[in-house]
Structure 1
Amino acid sequence: MDKKIIIGAVVALLVIIVGAAVLMGGGTTERGPGEIVVAAYSHGGEPEAGFDPIAGWNYYAEPLIQSTLLKMTPNGTYAKDLATDYEISDDYKTYTVDLRKDVKFTDGSDLTAEDVAFTYNAAKESGASLDLSALDKAEAQGDYKVKFTLNKSDSTFLDKMAYIGIVPSDSYNNESYGENPIGSGPYKFVQWDKGQQVILEKNPDYYGKQPEIEKITILFAQNEAAFNLAKNGEADIVAVPLEYGKEKLDGYTMYLQDTIDVRGVSLPSVPDTGELSPDDNYTIGNNVTCDIAIRKALNYGINRTALAEGALNGLGYPSYDGIAHQLPWANKEAAIEDGDVAYANKTLEEAGWVDSDGDGIREKNGTKASFKIYYSASAPERQALAVGAAEQAKQFGIEIEPVGAEWDEIYPNEFSQGVLWGYGSTDPSDMYGEYYSSSDFNPARVNNSAVDKHMDDAFAESREDSYKDWSAVSWDGSTGISPKGDANWLWLGEIKYGYFVNDRVDISNDTALLQPHGGDLFSNVYDWTMTNATAEK
């Protein structure tokens, strides 16, 4: 989720803006016939720790510089990459993987099982990449076989094998690797101009399908700065906020790509009793949102279709449980008829929330129905959603104060106020962090034994069999986290990603993967082509 993806990106925001301004200064940028310039989501935020998978570089996306054991396909299945075969024990506690024997790192050394085992063990220890808490240890068994032993059944461990880039164990240094990464992926690292860009060139020794694009320069520019790059013809592929999704630019095509990226607000479901989180000493609980009547009123009273048309520029899709409708564990039964202000008013009144002083805000036992929703100040669609939800909530007497902030200010409030998060993964186990009662994250403080059991059961089942239990987390006919159940979150909508693509480039939109939260524009980079021989504009 956000906490992993945005590490370093917001810290570098001011530097990014200055760097982008320098890069955009005056006229078009010359590009060779096989060279492209990109400013896009997953690579848009400059990583504080550099391009190190162990430190969290580009999880849930094509790392470009490094290789992964498996790759996700457009239909949601897995294709082999470094892995040539794998076996899974019946209890989903042991995964054994056979490796290719023809893979070299860009420093000329062989990639072996020792490198894979080292990468996974180090990533587990760092805690900055994927959730590897189920991993007990990874062991090399000879040069080209790796054994992963888990401390519990976890059928989703296969997902982790698709998203962790492998680093060389012999030369890896956690202090320097991120600034000069060595990998075995389709591209090799050339140069990092901090605050401005990173330059990658095609790896001639790559074992897989050789991409046509020879050189990729990734600019650290976002939002309006990125849009200006496209307007000035200075970049070939530019990710822009949805507010620009219907704009037209000469020489560019706007691609609106489907995603599984969802936006929603966590609503603390316990009262503020003075309890603090054990690790960070953050306040836990909110005396307004702890009342299920408040949470129900919001979930039934907010009109998500209106938000999709307004805040998401007509390019969104309502969401009721945070599971994108394209995923096989999506739960249609979680959907409700929302925008029902009468139901919201009735629910609040029956629970004792009344506006006794005529100020338009209900109160109960001296407590105003008022709380904050924090959102990332660098995310325009989150601001629009927070403001839109706040305006609608006024209709039934709930006051919401939208607060745009940096993440170092948002995190201390994550257990005590509403926070507008982004979420969306091909790995269903991400739901564990949001909803499992003992999860360290769980900002809404969900505590539902039936929800916990559905997730426990899902981990111990095959991927296909588990879908019914992941789906039941939302609503199983009796309970769940969705509006019909505990309404722990106010899920609002799925979004699309908008990319301006220069006519000189073809990004093979037909072969693109569904993009997870954070984006994976480069997932099909092997299929991209140069449609023109020159970059003249």
Structure 2
Amino acid sequence: MRRKLQLFLLLTLAAAISACSNGAKPEPAKTASGEASDGIVVSIKGEPAKGFDPAFDWPGLGEALFQSKLVVFDKEMYLVNDLAVERAVSEDGKELTVKLRDDVLYSDGVKFTASDVVFTFGKVRETTSYIDLSNVKEVVAVDDHTVKFVLEHPDSTFEYTLTRIAIIPEHAYGPDYAQHPIGSGPYKFVEWQKGQKLVVEANPLYYGKKPNIGKVTFLYLDMDASFAGAKRGEIDIARVSMDYIGKEIPGYTQRSIETMDIVSLSLPTVRTGTYEMDGMPIGNDVTADRAIRRALSYGMDREGISRDALSGGTRPVYSHNPGMPWDNEANVIPNADIDTAKRILEEGGWSDSDGDGIVEKDGIMAEFTLLYTPGEVERQAVVLGVQESARKIGIQVNLEAKVWDEISKQKLIYKEAYLFGKGADSPFEIYTNFSSDRIAKGTTNSPSYKNEIVDDYLNKAIQTTDQDEAMAYWQKAQWDGEHGANALGDSPFVPIVAFHHTFYIKDGVEIGDFRPAPHRGAYWITVENIKDWVKR
């Protein structure tokens, strides 16, 4: 993969560094605990287009910095309280009562109350569609430190939704809030130069663990410019692409951080013309055959794709939720098991009768098109690896790059294979990917997958008020010993690899451990443990 160093971004880097240091070492800042600490410079990808307003998907799945959430994840991906101190679900599963901390102040000194929670959820419902709150009938402030969520129907995953929404102070909200946010988070806003940098300082009124770093400057840089800045010693934590894996910079340690930013093949499970969308026939006569899908999953050389095509900057995965509490250990199968893949095809009635290396069945060749969006060399490397793996078991995969607008307009994800981004920090993704209720609704169940046994497990997982019971149902939906949506079962998706994030960390800087970052949330989750960072 050839790198192109962009002069404009390098000039931006130089200007940003100059702006935050004025040609000298940054002035020591005070932490919230009052101890002196040098500031820190971080290059990051993912500048929020609409600013720092939680009503417009800030921070998505990551760290809010300026605001706080009712509930967050620990590093093992279990839910823990943040602004909440106690959560109770009613017997019928339709009410969640949350007791709130009474010691929380916003960075402007105003006290946090339950009315701010009511305001925030109302604003999210009003301004954005990034979170589905259609099941929320009402949000009620019982008193200043108690809020009640009333649902239309039971939903065991609703508490995970709380991890997506940072709380907005009602008194401070206005037209320019996104550009000058106020909140109860560990840091307070100082400056934002769009396209260049964000400067934050430790919030002295923060209720939780005080940050060790008093001032943080985030630079929005191309990854080549990020590498160049680290090479000059101007960046403390530099995010780079996998092109740089193994390249050393004196005074820095390279670190690879695992994520759940997964790429996965979506394979239509119904035959062409099974149903229509906007007058267009949906389905694929090749991938509709279960044997084709299962053979692809078994024959996929995930390890080879990760090692050879992606420089080791990924890891092989066999589900969309590897290592999560709701994952099923039966999801993991042998890598590149060509013998099993060929046996599955043979038992399914596929054979190479004409000796051309491609199997056929009932006059249909095992050949289909795999679509992917252009512009990302990593995804192109993945689809080339998929094509090679498929060919080894007698399946011809033709590759075609198309922009998303064209794919969406023509409903192509419902009739061709497509390389999707998957991986979430909620088991609700299992429901959206595999529930027949999601067929032709959005893009999640793009394979049009339906299995009544799986549906039953999914519905039970949603409706129970017992989280342990829900976990068991999520796992059974993937595989119960006889039925399921994984490679042992129906395999509507073929998960391939999860991308890692590569950083250069300057000597003397420690950034601790992270929880796995999901697809779409990978950028700002990198700073989720920012309170634990240390610069010596």
Shared fold per TM-score greater than 0.5: yes
Contact (CA 8 Å) 1:282, 1:415: kept in 2 or not? no
Contact (CA 8 Å) 1:57, 1:129: kept in 2 or not? no
Residues 36 and 415 of structure 1: is their aligned pair in 2 closer, same or farther, counting only changes over 3 Å? Answer: farther
After superposition, what is the alpha-carbon deviation per residue over 1:266-323, rounded to whole angstroms, capped at 9, x for unaligned? Answer: 1121233285546xx8874233322223212211221222223223433544322222
1:488 CA displacement: 0.3
- Cα distance in 2 for residues equivalent to 1:45 and 1:405: 23
- Cα distance in 2 for residues equivalent to 1:405 and 1:494: 22
1:475 CA displacement: 0.9
Question: Where does residue 196 of structure 2 map in the other structure?
Answer: 196
- Cα distance in 1 for residues equivalent to 2:62 and 2:280: 31
User: Aligned to 1:501, which of 501, 505, 516?
Assistant: 505
> Letter of the aligned partner of 1:471 in structure 2?
Q
Residues 295 and 516 of structure 1: is their aligned pair in 2 closer, same or farther, counting only changes over 3 Å? Answer: same
Question: Where does residue 32 of structure 2 map in the other structure?
Answer: none
- Cα distance in 2 for residues equivalent to 1:389 and 1:428: 27
Contact (CA 8 Å) 1:373, 1:403: kept in 2 or not? yes
- Cα distance in 2 for residues equivalent to 1:236 and 1:331: 38
Question: Where does residue 292 of structure 1 map in the other structure?
Answer: 290
Identity %: 36
Question: Where does residue 255 of structure 1 map in the other structure?
Answer: 255
> Letter of the aligned partner of 1:227 in structure 2?
F
Question: Where does residue 306 of structure 2 map in the other structure?
Answer: 308
Gapped regions of structure 1 (runs ≥ 5): 1-15, 532-537
> Letter of the aligned partner of 2:425 in structure 1?
T
1:490 CA displacement: 0.9
Question: Where does residue 524 of structure 1 map in the other structure?
Answer: 529
1:434 CA displacement: 1.4
Gapped regions of structure 2 (runs ≥ 5): 29-37
Residues 393 and 455 of structure 1: is their aligned pair in 2 closer, same or farther, counting only changes over 3 Å? Answer: same
After superposition, what is the alpha-carbon deviation per residue over 1:120-175, rounded to whole angstroms, capped at 9, x for unaligned? Answer: 233244453334343222111222211001122222222222331111234535x6
> Letter of the aligned partner of 2:509 in structure 1?
V
Residues 132 and 26 of structure 1: is their aligned pair in 2 closer, same or farther, counting only changes over 3 Å? Answer: closer
Comparing 137-146 with 345-354, greater Cα deviation is found at: 345-354
Question: Where does residue 81 of structure 1 map in the other structure?
Answer: 82
Asked if residue 24 in structure 1 is aligned to residue 13 in structure 2, the reply is: yes
- Cα distance in 2 for residues equivalent to 1:501 and 1:516: 22
Contact (CA 8 Å) 2:77, 2:325: kept in 1 or not? no
- Cα distance in 2 for residues equivalent to 1:427 and 1:311: 30
**Number of residue pairs the alignment of both structures matches:** 507
Comparing 398-407 with 355-364, greater Cα deviation is found at: 355-364
Question: Where does residue 534 of structure 1 map in the other structure?
Answer: none
Larger Rg: 2
Residues 277 and 104 of structure 1: is their aligned pair in 2 closer, same or farther, counting only changes over 3 Å? Answer: farther
| Partner SS, residue 259 of structure 2 | coil
User: Aligned to 1:389, which of 344, 364, 386?
Assistant: 386
- Cα distance in 2 for residues equivalent to 1:502 and 1:193: 25
TM-score (norm 1): 0.85
Residues 112 and 276 of structure 1: is their aligned pair in 2 closer, same or farther, counting only changes over 3 Å? Answer: farther
Question: Where does residue 31 of structure 2 map in the other structure?
Answer: none
Matches within 5 A, 1:280-429: 284-314=282-312, 316-324=314-322, 326-348=323-345, 351=348, 361-362=358-359, 368-377=365-374, 379-404=376-401, 407-412=404-409, 413-429=412-428
1:74 CA displacement: 2.1
Contact (CA 8 Å) 2:84, 2:98: kept in 1 or not? yes
After superposition, what is the alpha-carbon deviation per residue over 1:97-119, rounded to whole angstroms, capped at 9, x for unaligned? Answer: 12223333345543221111121
- Cα distance in 2 for residues equivalent to 1:199 and 1:275: 52
Residues 442 and 313 of structure 1: is their aligned pair in 2 closer, same or farther, counting only changes over 3 Å? Answer: same
Question: Where does residue 448 of structure 1 map in the other structure?
Answer: 451
Matches within 5 A, 1:34-45: 34-40=38-44, 44-45=45-46
Comparing 233-242 with 264-273, greater Cα deviation is found at: 233-242
| Partner SS, residue 199 of structure 2 | strand
Contact (CA 8 Å) 2:114, 2:145: kept in 1 or not? yes
RMSD: 3.0
- Cα distance in 2 for residues equivalent to 1:58 and 1:381: 25
